[in-house]
Structure 1
Amino acid sequence: MARRQLPPLNALRAFEAFGRHGRMTLAAEELCVTHGAVSRQIRQLEEHLGVALTEGPRSRLRMTEAGLKLAQALSPAFDQIEAAVPRPAEAGPRPLVVSCMPTFAMKWLIPRLPGFQAAHPEVPVRVAESNGPFDFKGDGIDLAIRMRWPGDQDYQDSTAVPFMRHYHGPVMAPELAARGVADFQSVCAAPRLQTRTYPQSWSEWIRDTGAEGLPAASREQEFDHFFYMLEAAAAGMGVAVAPWAFAQRDLDSGRLVAPLGFAFSQTLIVALTPRENASEQALLFRDWLLAEGASTPHPPEALAPPAPDASFAPTTRSRALS
């Protein structure tokens, strides 16, 4: 049997974590190592491969095109390994299992989880990243977070409570904006980044801005997930239309800019719990999401949302967005 020609696995693991989070510090927190250890592992991987996987200043490090390609292959491979690893019977209280869209989990939910755990240390939480259909009982899920589009039909076994308004808009690297990609025509004409899971992001943004149509782009490139698309945008590869909740942290840090601001959408971010026999822990977490959603600032460039009405009342259907 031929010997596998694999790079050091610890280095691959460090790079995959950096690829998902987009920041060395968050990758280091996940792996329980120092920022320097992750940096050394990635540098070791680059030296082993003879290819640059990252570029830019240390404060705004981003992946190269080769790095994005490798990261997109590593994440599903590590997901398969994690799913196949046998686990011993759980000791102690059963964790509250929250099914959540991957990028929303990384960019919005997980950074806020320490606050919930500090307030409720007796309720361990496990985030299961998913952007597809789910079954509460069959999948062992207590609560799910999804996007709800206007006109979506009901899940018969779910109660959905909206906890955040949805804004979306074009984001890009500061360097790209500095080169003059800052008005409607130049933003639409720039290289266009999209995701396989939600290719209609640009057309829906055009609809919500009230523009008559979407001008042609110089080229288009598709990624498997929103977090890879955002990394590509931060790397200067083009312009992506992203939800405010997904991009806020990168905008605050300066990795991304949004020269056209964000448009208000009728889409809602909702928490779904079982229609019958929802656990007390799930309802507690849902109430915490409502409070966190209410305290999340609206994008400064966006118009104020309309007054609450029936469209923001609890409903019972959602769609995935990863």
Structure 2
Amino acid sequence: MRRRIPSLNALKAFEAAGRLGLMKLAAEELCVTHGAVSRQVKQLENWLGVALFAGPKHAPTLTEAGYRLLPALTCAFDQVDLAVQQIADTDEGTLDVSCPGTFTMRWLIPRLHHFNAHHPRVEVRLNSAGTSADPIRDNVDVAIRVGRGPWPPGVDVIPLFSEKFGPVHAPSIRLAAAKPWPAALLHTVSRRNAWSDWSARSGIAAAGEGAAEFEHFYFMLEAAIAGLGVSISPWPLVAEDVAAGRLIAPFGFIDSGLGYVALRRQKQNSKADIFCRWLETAAREYVAGARSRPPEATQP
């Protein structure tokens, strides 16, 4: 069956203009002149026999027909883009990386400039969908996760390093030998069992004057730095704060039983290969460096 489809350039011009709200912005996105976009939209209107825009040229608004056509075109172009990206295999372009937000801020971003310097043609696009049950969904190329197996089927698992964790608090707090400690026990939604896990592994019962829960790990760390209580935190996320004296680790850090891994699709992807090889190198350097070795207990 022969499809009756108008000019692809005309459809692209209208979709960009409708999505961005101005033909000038559409022209900038498509790398053409304002006049070219206007002509393409007019050509599409003539082909359809309906107006797609109304109002003055400097502030056009979509007609009812335009409102009906725009979302279908946007969805279609998104699907084409996704299909092309899934098939194309080059060593340049965008690489979508999913990573828990606090780990992204505290560990990955401070090292990412090294990757950018050596691979300037790869644009790493980060998102913080770090708790998804399916880590390689939504066209994510590489996902960094902390946990233990088994991992979802259909992914390659690249071990990075094991995790150590322990209580941390601001210097203004003094933990007494007797319980309860004169501070709240801080929790985060993503790791509600952190205190019980640490107590079971360390043999130290933890009891504080109250408790507080935070939606994001980063909020909990900021609360600990501000002296609002004591949190259980992984060493990679607090190493800089402990080194700077913003946080104290009274019992040191012990193995949590979890590990940081990179997960990637089991398909050819040159950009993912490059990034995962860099991640492995960065992880080895981290493990070999002094910052990967957390302190022993600094107080009973």
User: Under a length normalisation based on structure 2, what TM-score does the superposition of the two structures give?
Assistant: 0.63
Tell whether the 8 Å contact from 2:169 to 2:249 is kept in structure 1 after alignment.
yes
Alpha-carbon distance, 1:100 to partner: 0.2
Seq. identity, % = 35
Tell whether the 8 Å contact from 2:199 to 2:206 is kept in structure 1 after alignment.
no
CA-to-aligned-CA distance 1:115-139 (integer Å, 9 cap, x gap):
1101111111011111222657751
Q: Which amino acid aligns with 1:145?
A: I
Indicate the RMSD between aligned Cα atoms, in angstroms: 2.6
CA separation of 1:137/1:164 partners in 2, compared to 1, >3 Å: closer, same or farther?
A: closer
Q: Map 1:1-322 to 2 at 5 A.
A: 94-133=93-132, 135=134, 138-149=137-148, 152-176=149-173, 180-181=174-175, 185=178, 190-211=183-204, 214-274=205-265, 276-296=266-286, 297-302=291-296
Tell whether the 8 Å contact from 1:264 to 1:302 is kept in structure 2 after alignment.
no
CA separation of 1:173/1:283 partners in 2, compared to 1, >3 Å: closer, same or farther?
A: same
CA-to-aligned-CA distance 1:147-200 (integer Å, 9 cap, x gap):
122xx3231111111101201011111121xxx3265x5685631000012111
CA separation of 1:208/1:278 partners in 2, compared to 1, >3 Å: closer, same or farther?
A: farther
1:261, 1:268 → 2: CA distance? 18
Q: Which amino acid aligns with 1:221?
A: A
1:182, 1:107 → 2: CA distance? 30
CA-to-aligned-CA distance 1:222-243 (integer Å, 9 cap, x gap):
0001100000000000000000
Query: Which sections of structure 2, spanning at least 5 residues, go unmatched?
Result: 1-73, 82-91
Tell whether the 8 Å contact from 2:185 to 2:212 is kept in structure 1 after alignment.
yes
State which structure, 1 or 2, has the greater radius of gyration over its C-alpha atoms.
2
Specify which structure has the bigger relative contact order, considering alpha-carbon pairs within 8 angstroms and separated by 6 or more residues. 1
2:96, 2:172 → 1: CA distance? 40
Alpha-carbon distance, 1:141 to partner: 0.6
Q: Which amino acid aligns with 1:202?
A: W
CA-to-aligned-CA distance 1:6-60 (integer Å, 9 cap, x gap):
xxxxxxxxxxxxxxxxxxxxxxxxxxxxxxxxxxxxxxxxxxxxxxxxxxxxxxx
Residue 45 of structure 1: aligned partner: none
User: Under a length normalisation based on structure 1, what TM-score does the superposition of the two structures give?
Assistant: 0.59
Query: Which sections of structure 1, spanning at least 5 residues, go unmatched?
Result: 1-85, 304-322
Tell whether the 8 Å contact from 2:157 to 2:263 is kept in structure 1 after alignment.
yes
SS at 1:301 equivalent: coil
CA separation of 1:99/1:299 partners in 2, compared to 1, >3 Å: closer, same or farther?
A: same
Alpha-carbon distance, 1:208 to partner: 2.2
1:292, 1:118 → 2: CA distance? 14
SS at 1:175 equivalent: coil
2:252, 2:169 → 1: CA distance? 12
CA separation of 1:216/1:134 partners in 2, compared to 1, >3 Å: closer, same or farther?
A: closer
Tell whether the 8 Å contact from 2:220 to 2:231 is kept in structure 1 after alignment.
yes
1:253, 1:205 → 2: CA distance? 24
Alpha-carbon distance, 1:287 to partner: 1.5
Residue 32 of structure 1: aligned partner: none
Alpha-carbon distance, 1:255 to partner: 1.7
SS at 1:222 equivalent: strand
SS at 1:174 equivalent: coil
Tell whether the 8 Å contact from 1:123 to 1:281 is kept in structure 2 after alignment.
yes
SS at 1:294 equivalent: helix
CA separation of 1:278/1:137 partners in 2, compared to 1, >3 Å: closer, same or farther?
A: farther
2:238, 2:167 → 1: CA distance? 10
